Structure 1
Amino acid sequence: MTTPLMPHTLQWLPADGSAPQQLMVLLHGWGASAADMAPLAQVLRQQFPQCAVLAPEGFEPVDGTGAVQMAGRQWFSLASAQGGMITEAERPARVAAVLPRLAEWLRTAQAATGVGPQATALVGFSQGSICALELVQRHDGAAGRVLAFAGRYAALPDAAPRETTLHFFHGGADGVIPVTHAKAAIERLAALQGDATIDIAEGAGHEIPPALLRCALQRLTSHIPQRTWREALGAAPARAGQPGELDD
């Protein structure tokens, strides 16, 4: 893969030139850029040297909300049609509008790297997490895992993905997307018998602190998806993981 899969896509491939065995797609937050995900990409590459890591740019320039103007990118606008910040009622439609383009980008990335959906992980932060969660909600199995840092659902789901495992990571003192959204998501997914886990770093804000990054690496290396258990044992789906649990 010698050219970007889309303009300004950052990409890191196996250093030995071999074909990637896994694909991790990093989706940045509102007002940020692909370059902001580079430190996370380096950590993932160290842990998974045979992985391809891609960090696309948000599809739109930030349009600003009120007097706020930024030079970064966004996946969807936070400006309300009524003025000010987006409302809860407006958010689902904004996210839904970007999903077809994101789904097509993901399929292109998978074809270009030769990595299938089940070996693909979407790793999002904030607005990127929202998009990742909603993408697999609409396209179950488009990725084998979602790692949602400081994210939330645009609207809580009525059904849980069966082919995608969801991992939530949140700061207990997040003032941008309160941890209550992640807790509500895990409770809903548990009721729907979804395959999901949650880790909370008390005192952390809207960020990816080292403690949650360590949790993410452990989830990636030790959590056996419930679909794998179902296939091997014919068992019913287990309840979603409870806060702070780490899988052995």
Structure 2
Amino acid sequence: MKHDHFIVQSPATPAQQLLLLFHGVGDNPVSMGQIGSLFAPQFPDALIVSIGGAEPCGPPPGRQWFSVQGVTEENRQSRIDTIMPTFIETVRYWQKQSGVSPQATALIGFSQGAIMSLESIKAESGLASRVIAFNGRYATLPQSATTATTIHLIHGGEDRVIDLAWAVSAQEALLQAGGDVTLDIVEDLGHAIDDRSMQFALERLRYTVPKHYFDEALSGSTPKDDDIIELL
């Protein structure tokens, strides 16, 4: 399938993990690729790809997944639902191209890219094993969740674009629904990613043990070696 993208890292041997990055409104995959490059040293066997939004936004090379012109709490979900099949198809395309399973796939998004990543797991459970959501939110809070995907919310404490309250509400909703979620608040940070945000993201991907491992241990089954944390 044709779509705007930038390959940040392609290992010489078959990829063991897949990290897909999704930018904010009006940004582009090359710019978001700079964030992707910060993951590369910790994940040398990962295919890391920065994906562009599905449609143009503002001056080239700006992209977006859905327009925020006239967006409201009432129509945001429908705009996301309209483009979501394309988003999911894009994730599936790179999983097929890389030969990497959903269990070793991480979706990493900022702002609108984080919204799409979170909503994709709501739309299709098990699409990826991890989501890193920088300064994102759900359009509508999830009513159900599984531990197939571990959600890592990382949010600026002073975000005036997507208020921290949205991340707190997301964490509460996921926990209530039985999901697996972490929330890290970056003090004095607005709507941005800084070194502290990245440190949280790297530590979460490398060291947070998914809840489903504990559930499997309690049930007497043996955890599979296919989560991204197991492949470092």
- Partner of residue 109, structure 1: 94
What does 1:142-181 correspond to in 2, within 5 Å?
A: 142-181=127-166
Q: Distance in 2 between matches of 1:162 and 1:70?
A: 40
User: What runs of 5+ residues in structure 1 fail to find an aligned partner?
Assistant: 63-68, 81-85, 236-248
Identify the residue that residue 89 of structure 1 maps to in structure 2. 74
Gaps of 5+ in 2: 221-232
Residue 60 (str. 1) matches residue 52 (str. 2): no
The one-letter code of the counterpart of 1:154 is: A
- Cα distance in 2 for residues equivalent to 1:26 and 1:189: 22
Contact 1:140 1:162 in 2 (8 A): no
Residue 106 of structure 2 contacts residue 130 of structure 2 at CA under 8 Å; is this kept in 1?
yes
Larger mean CA deviation between 188-197 and 170-179 belongs to 188-197
Q: In structure 2, how many angstroms separate the alpha carbons of the residues matched to 1:75 and 1:36? A: 16
By percentage of residues, which structure has more helix?
Answer: 2
Query: TM-score if structure 2 supplies the norm length?
Result: 0.91
Matched with 2:30 is 35
In 2, Cα distance between equivalents of 1:129 and 1:101: 16
Identify which of 1, 7, 10 aligns with 1:11: 7
The question of whether the paired residues in 2 share the 8 Å contact of 1:147 and 1:166 is answered with yes
1:78 to 63, 68, 76: 68
**Greater RCO, 1 or 2 (C-alpha within 8 Å, sep 6+):** 2
| Structure possessing the higher radius of gyration over alpha carbons | 1
Q: CA deviation at 1:70?
A: 4.1
How many Å apart are 1:202 and its aligned residue? 1.1
In the alignment, is the contact (CA less than 8 A) between 1:136 and 1:161 conserved in 2? no
Cα RMSD after superposing both structures: 1.3
State how many pairs are aligned: 219
Deviations 1:47-88 (A, max 9, x none): 1100000111100111xxxxxx544110001122xxxxx110
Q: 1:100 aligns with which of 78, 81, 85?
A: 85
SS in 2 for 1:214: helix
CA contact (8 A) 1:130 1:151 kept: yes
Is 1:207 aligned to residue 192 of structure 2? yes
Matched with 2:173 is 188
Matches within 5 A, 1:106-145: 106-145=91-130
For 1:7, what is the secondary structure of its paired residue?
coil
| 1:198 counterpart residue number | 183
Once the two structures are TM-superposed, the CA of residue 162 in structure 1 deviates from its matched residue by 3.0
1:4-58 superposed Cα distances (whole Å, 9 cap, x missing partner): x63331113444x111100000000001000111221111111110000011110
The residue aligned with 2:43 is: 48
TM-score normalised over the length of structure 1: 0.85
Residues 133 and 146, structure 1, Cα contact 8 Å, conserved in 2: yes
SS, match of residue 68 in structure 2: coil
